[in-house]
Amino acid sequence: MNCIKANAKSHTTGRIVAYFTEDRVYALACCRSPKEDFVTMGIREDGKQHYYERFPKQLEVLYANRIGYLYVIDSVDGLVNIKGRTWESDKDVAVERCEIIEDVYKAILEEERKGNVVIHRYQDIAPDEQRIHANHIKEHLDDDQAMKPFYMKHFSSFWD
């Protein structure tokens, strides 16, 4: 690939854009199937990404044995900083180089080992919190038809 295409809908403006991040861990979390558009992470007060598993072995299910590609650009000139470490462009942007990640799951675990991400595993999350999230998904199941099969597969056994 020689450019990142502006083909995603901006979360802030609704325009068609290309997304970028300076955060390696977040970029790794974006190495997933479009049919599994389920990222449960964010930066917390400690300045680190925190990844929350919302079903058992979520991280492994979504990322194990998955090849990922991290496309690198050398400058943010011409990009718009939309929040923190996230940028967007309404034009295609040339890629300088590409890092191939042979196993995204192993790469995320390595980032955890380095202290760059805190992973909150499903079994360590309070059962009440687990139930709240599963039932929220149930209540909004028809909001996103593309994700409905994913939600049914991973959450239906947890619904009240």
Give tens-digit pLDDT for 87-127.
Answer: 999 999 999 999 999 999 999 999 999 999 999 999 999 99
Structure confidence at residue 1 (pLDDT): 63
Please state the rounded mean pLDDT for residues 31-36: 86
Query: Does residue 29 have a pLDDT over 70?
Result: yes
Query: Does residue 25 have a pLDDT over 90?
Result: yes
CB-CB contact of 29 with 62 (8 Å) = no
What is the β-pairing status of strands 49-52 and 117-120? parallel
Going from the C-alpha of 71 to that of each of 93, 101, 102, the distances in angstroms are: 11, 11, 14
- Considering only residues 1 and 90, tell me which one the structure prediction assigns the higher pLDDT: 90
Please state the rounded mean pLDDT for residues 142-154: 91
pLDDT band at 159 (very low <50, low <70, confident <90, very high): confident
Q: Has this prediction a pTM greater than 0.95?
A: no
**Residue 78 burial (10 A CB sphere; 0-12, 13-18, 19+):** exposed
| Percent of the chain residues topping a pLDDT of 70 | 99
Query: Does residue 35 have a pLDDT over 90?
Result: no
What is the β-pairing status of strands 80-83 and 86-89? antiparallel
Please state which of the ranges 14-18, 34-38, 102-106 shows the lowest mean pLDDT: 34-38
Phi, psi of 113 (to 5 degrees): -60, -35
Query: For the chain, what is the mean pLDDT?
Result: 92
- 4-13 exposure pattern, b = at least 16 Cβ within 10 A, e = fewer: bebeeebeee
